[in-house]
Structure 1
């Protein structure tokens, strides 16, 4: 049922039957059947601590599940309720730069779907490309640029399984507009508007941070922030028919000037995550508590 070989890109290893087996195993351990899935980015794992009546499962204990190797990612699935809604939270995600095939990095989205998840909230740490952004801003993602996808590295490459979704899913509405409006409304109430932005997220493979030329190119393409995750998860989540809200915490300003002395580093990413964690938690929990309102407006 769960192949133990780590070689090859065989799509069947992350196909419907494998994902269903993993989902069924998790549901047998979980106190709730989740309707909401939350993915915590670097330094933002505290979002999972908001859940009540928690049951946590380490990735390494889940049959067929990948494992996270990045600092700032705890590597646990936490089940519980958030504002009364059954939820599963990923404390740590998977990246191309860890050496995983792209289908493996996005397997959790399919497992979410098969557990009953209808809405996914993804968070990440990102570098700011927009000169109007400052470190500590939270960007509501309205669209993305999938740079690896330009070279054919898309999680939907290969035979399509209609039990997940259609062959050619639309991505012009990838990010739920009703949930985006809800974030802005809630931010105004919480007096967060001063650090809430909206923009386009660009995904690269990593793990090296971007060169000055790469940052300039991405900005010229219309990207407001750059990171190494999220986009592939969004593609699979939408392929599966789940609603998506995604938020980027701007943890560093991308270097756009050859004369600059600044250097991007992972420590800065984690520190900024800790400083803004409380506001991010309030924002996410507020969105969850008012999701029905967003549903009626959509």
Structure 2
């Protein structure tokens, strides 16, 4: 029997929840969790079904740049674990650094760079193997489903920074040298926390804009919201199809 699936929705990706058959809703505040101050993050949990799969959707998240520490940022992951989540799907909006990954596409995370300077595991010798953060078996299944649907799904390395300012062109050049394909301000701490709890993890970046210095356009959060909303449907198609065949 399939365990419960958890899904975390990033900036502009709230529409991903529209195909979930919702049985109940709980606000972050009802569980004593901090609420988000960022547009595009509703701050609630949706329980229900996606296809035949039991899911809990975390509609929005909180970030380090809102003044929270790593423990608060990952509180939602621990709460979903307490509700029986065994596999966690993280989504985010990210800037693309890869010339072959244009805005409007999706990138499945193969690995990450934690450049936040912190960890939710701080406070003790909480040594967790991070060799395979993002579940390899599920990644292969997602690629197969995407191919069947003629959906372009890139794979790459996500660099997670604190924010809230966007990166400078020099910082983007540094990240490219370090091997990053996309950059954002979330996800890595949640993935670390989930792996420490024994939860399987996969993650997807909606590539909403070129990173600084790669385009003459200035970076704008409104663009992130708009592009994320436009790309949400293809990711929900992928998740629904995968839920139909996942084990």
Q: Which residue of 1 aligns with 2:220?
A: 265
Q: For the Cα contact (< 8 Å) 2:110–2:156, is it kept in 1?
A: yes
Residues 1-298 of structure 1: pairs in structure 2 closer than 5 A: 35-62=4-31, 64-149=32-117, 153-159=118-124, 167-193=126-152, 196-256=153-213, 261-292=216-247
Superposition deviation, residue 201 in structure 1? 0.2
CA RMSD of aligned residues (A): 1.3
Q: For the Cα contact (< 8 Å) 1:129–1:253, is it kept in 2?
A: yes
Q: TM-score, normalised by structure 2?
A: 0.96
Structure 1: 5+ residue stretches without partners: 1-33, 161-166, 293-298
Q: Distance in 1 between matches of 2:237 and 2:129?
A: 31
Superposition deviation, residue 45 in structure 1? 1.0
Superposition deviation, residue 60 in structure 1? 2.3
Q: Distance in 1 between matches of 2:61 and 2:155?
A: 23
Q: Distance in 2 between matches of 1:225 and 1:73?
A: 21
- For residue 124 of structure 2, give the secondary structure of its aligned residue in structure 1: coil
- For residue 252 of structure 1, give the secondary structure of its aligned residue in structure 2: strand
Q: Distance in 2 between matches of 1:53 and 1:204?
A: 33
Q: For the Cα contact (< 8 Å) 1:119–1:244, is it kept in 2?
A: yes
Q: Distance in 2 between matches of 1:101 and 1:272?
A: 28
- For residue 118 of structure 1, give the secondary structure of its aligned residue in structure 2: strand
Q: Distance in 2 between matches of 1:232 and 1:204?
A: 10
Q: Distance in 2 between matches of 1:126 and 1:54?
A: 31
Structure 2: 5+ residue stretches without partners: none
Q: Distance in 1 between matches of 2:97 and 2:23?
A: 37
Superposition deviation, residue 264 in structure 1? 1.0
Higher relative CO (Cα under 8 Å, sequence separation at least 6) belongs to 2
Larger radius of gyration: 1
Number of matched residues?
245
User: After superposition, what is the alpha-carbon deviation per residue over 1:226-258, rounded to whole angstroms, capped at 9, x for unaligned?
Assistant: 00000000000000000001000000011235x
User: After superposition, what is the alpha-carbon deviation per residue over 1:11-43, rounded to whole angstroms, capped at 9, x for unaligned?
Assistant: xxxxxxxxxxxxxxxxxxxxxxx7110000111
Q: For the Cα contact (< 8 Å) 1:200–1:225, is it kept in 2?
A: yes
Q: For the Cα contact (< 8 Å) 2:52–2:243, is it kept in 1?
A: no
Q: Distance in 1 between matches of 2:81 and 2:112?
A: 22
Superposition deviation, residue 171 in structure 1? 0.7
* Higher share in strand: 2
